[in-house]
Amino acid sequence: MSENSNQTPSADQNRRNFLKALATVPVLGLFLVNLWQKLRRDALKRNNLLTDLVQEKKAPAVISGLSDSKHLNLGVIGYGGRGSHLVRGAGFATKGWTDDAHRRSKENKLDKAFPTFMSQEDLNCSLVGVCDLFDVNADMALNASQNDVRPGRKSNGSATRYRHYSELLAQDDIDGVIIATPDHWHSRITIDAAKAGKHVYCEKGLTRTFQEALDVYDTIKETGMILQLGHQNRQVEANDKAKRIIDQGLLGPINLVELTTNRNSPWGAWVWNIHKDGNNKTIDWDLFQEPSPNKIPFGEEALKRFFRWRCWYDYGTGLSGDLFSHDYDALNQIPGMGIPKYASSSGGIYFYKDGRDVPDVWHVTLEYPDRDMTVLYSATLSSNNSRGNRIMGHDATMMMGGQSNLGSVGGFIVTADSESTQYRERLKNGVINSKYPIFSYSPGSKQIDGVTSATSQYFANKGLLYTYREGKRVDPTHLHIKDWLDAIRSGTQPKCNIDIAFQEAVTCAMATESYLTGSRVEGDPVKRRLI
C-alpha cells in the first residue's frame, strides 16, 4: 500500500472519478459530461470577458499615520441624532450608547455596531466644546466627551458647554467644528466659523437658498478654511468601483439616470418623538427660530417644529437637501454631473396631513443638455417598494443602492442591453446574456447587522451605514471625519470640499425653487443667479 493511500483525494481527482463514473452510463453520462464541459467553457468565457472589460483595482486602503502628526481640538454645534453619529465617528460616544451596543453585540453576533466603533482608528483629537439648544442633548454630548470607552482608550477629560455657538467659536484652542444643527442654521454658523479661523464639517444640506450657497462658497474661498460636507457616501467603496466601470465606458453613452427614495413609516417621514423633557426651560426656542422667516411663540406647535423640523421649509431643505442630496452626491462622484442647466419639480402633501409644508411625494427632473443627459428623481414617504437607482447607457445599465436582489449593502449590478452595439458579438455568441449581470459588486450579506427600522434599512441599502476596506467593515462616517481631519493636517482638500458642496447646494436650491414657484428654473453660472 502506498504511503499516500490514506490521504483525502483532491478536488481534481474527485472530478475525474465523477466523470469516469458518468461515462459508464452511456446516455445520461454523455449528457452530463457535455453539460459540465459547457458550463465550464461558459464560466471561462465570462471570466475572460471580465478580465478584458473591467480593469480592476484594489479598494482604497484605510490610510494611517496622518492622525499622529497633530492633535486637534473639536467642537460640536448640534448634538441630535445625526450630531451624535458624527461625534461617534470622531471616536466619542455616550456611556449609554457603548453599554447598550456592547450588550447587543453579545446577544446578537450580527450586531456589529460596538466592535465596528472600537476598531476605528484613534483620530488623535479631543472633544472640547459642545453647543446645543436642548439641555438634554448638551448633557449627552458632555457625557460622550468624558467616556473612556473609545478607540485608543485614551482619557479625553470633559468638554465645556456653550449656550451660544459664537461663544464656542471664540475659543482659541478649538481647531474645527462639527455643525449638525437644523439646516436653517448651517450657512450662518459655517460663515461665522470660517471667519473665526475654524475648519468646518457641516452636515448636509449645506444651505437652504441659492444666495446662502453663494455666501458660504465665497467665505470659504476667502478664508482658506477646510470645509467637508457631510456626505459619508464619498467613502463608500461601491461608488469607487462604479466610477471605474463607467470611466472605462462599459455602459456606453449615458442619456438617462433614475434615482429614487422610498420610505413608509412615521420615522421615515420625520414624525419623530417629542422628548418628554422638552419644555420652555430646557429648549431655547427663541434662538432656535432666529434665522427662520416665520416666527411663532413657544407652545405645542413650537415643540412639534423643534423635534420635527425637517417637515417645514422654515428650518429644513425638504426632500431635496435631505434625501435627494444623498443620491445626487453619489451620482456626482460616479459620472460627475455638476450643476444642471434646468430643474423642474412637482409633488405635494398627499399622505401626512400633519401641518407640514414639505411634500411627502416629490419628483424632480434635471436637464444636462451639454451632456445629452436627463436625471430623474422620484420620492415617496408612504411606500417601501424598493425601486433602486439606474444609470442607463446604450450598452448596459447599472442598478445601484443594494436594491437589486443581490442582498447587498451599497452594491450594484451591471447588465448588458439586448440592443448593445459594444456587446453585439458577445450577445450573439452567447458569451453575454442580457438577462443576467455581466458584473456585480455585493458587499455584506442579506443580514444587515440587525437593522430593523425602515429608515435604517434605507440608509443601509444606500451604503450610508457602513462600507468595506480590505474586507473589513468600516463606518463611512468615521472615514469621512478622518478625511476632513487629515485634510486639515496636510493642508489638502477633503473628498466633499467646498467646490463639490457648492454644486450640490445650487442643484438642490434649483429643485426646491422650482417646486415652490411651480416653474422651471434655469441656472446662470456667469451672472450667478437663478432664472
Distance CA 191, CA 219 (A): 6
- Please answer whether residues 500 and 228 qualify as being in contact, where contact means their C-beta atoms are separated by less than 8 angstroms: no
> Nearest 5 degrees, angle CA 342-CA 359-CA 262?
90
All three cell numbers of 475, joined, read 463606518
| pLDDT-based confidence at residue 367 (cuts at 50, 70, 90) | very high
CATH topology of domain 235-272+308-476: Dihydrodipicolinate Reductase; domain 2 (3.30.360)
Distance CA 230, CA 215 (A): 18
Which residues are CB-contacts of 35 (< 8 A; sequence separation ≥ 6)?
Answer: none
Question: Looking at the chain, how many residues does it have?
Answer: 531
Alpha helices in 196-335 (DSSP H): 210-223, 237-247, 285-288, 300-307, 318-319, 325-333
Task: State yes or no: pLDDT of 451 exceeds 50.
Answer: no
Distances (CA, A) of 333 to 58, 263, 336, 372, 451: 18, 24, 5, 18, 27
Other CB atoms within 10 A of residue 71 CB: 12
Distances (CA, A) of 369 to 269, 341, 521: 34, 7, 14
Q: Where in the chain is the domain with CATH 3.40.50.720?
A: 70-233
CA neighbor of 505 nearest in space, from 190, 175, 259: 190
The pLDDT of 109-131, averaged and rounded, is: 93
Q: Where in the chain is the domain with CATH 3.30.360.10?
A: 235-272+308-476
Task: State yes or no: pLDDT of 448 exceeds 60.
Answer: no
Task: State yes or no: pLDDT of 52 exceeds 80.
Answer: no
The larger pLDDT score, comparing residue 134 to residue 468, is at 134
- Please answer whether residues 464 and 402 qualify as being in contact, where contact means their C-beta atoms are separated by less than 8 angstroms: no
Task: State yes or no: pLDDT of 446 exceeds 50.
Answer: no
Q: What percent of the chain has pLDDT over 90?
A: 66
Prior bond of 205 cis (ω within 30°):
yes
Backbone angles phi, psi at 114, to 5 degrees: -70, -50
Amino acid letter, residue 500 = I
Task: State yes or no: pLDDT of 456 exceeds 50.
Answer: no
Q: Strands 125-131 and 373-380, how do they pair?
A: unpaired
Task: State yes or no: pLDDT of 43 exceeds 60.
Answer: no
Torsion of CA 391, 396, 401, 403, to 10 degrees: 130
CA neighbor of 382 nearest in space, from 460, 459, 271, 268: 268
pLDDT in tens, 234-267: 888 788 888 989 999 999 999 999 999 999 999 9
The larger pLDDT score, comparing residue 210 to residue 469, is at 210
pTM: 0.84
> Looking at residue 285, what is its pLDDT?
98
pLDDT in tens, 477-500: 999 999 999 999 999 999 999 999
Which residues are CB-contacts of 487 (< 8 A; sequence separation ≥ 6)?
Answer: 226, 228, 493, 494, 497
> Looking at residue 4, what is its pLDDT?
42
> Looking at residue 10, what is its pLDDT?
56
Amino acid letter, residue 113 = A
Backbone angles phi, psi at 393, to 5 degrees: -110, 170
pLDDT in tens, 415-438: 999 999 999 999 999 888 999 888
Residue 347 host element (H or E): strand 342-348
Superfamily of domain 70-233: NAD(P)-binding Rossmann-like Domain (3.40.50.720)
Q: What is the DSSP string of 38-94?
A: HHHHHHHHHHHHHHHH----PPPP---SGGGT--EEEEEE--SHHHHHHHHHTT---
pLDDT in tens, 65-97: 666 689 999 999 999 989 999 999 999 999 999
SS3 content of the chain, % helix, strand, coil (to 5): 40, 15, 45
Distance CA 485, CA 378 (A): 35
> Looking at residue 495, what is its pLDDT?
94
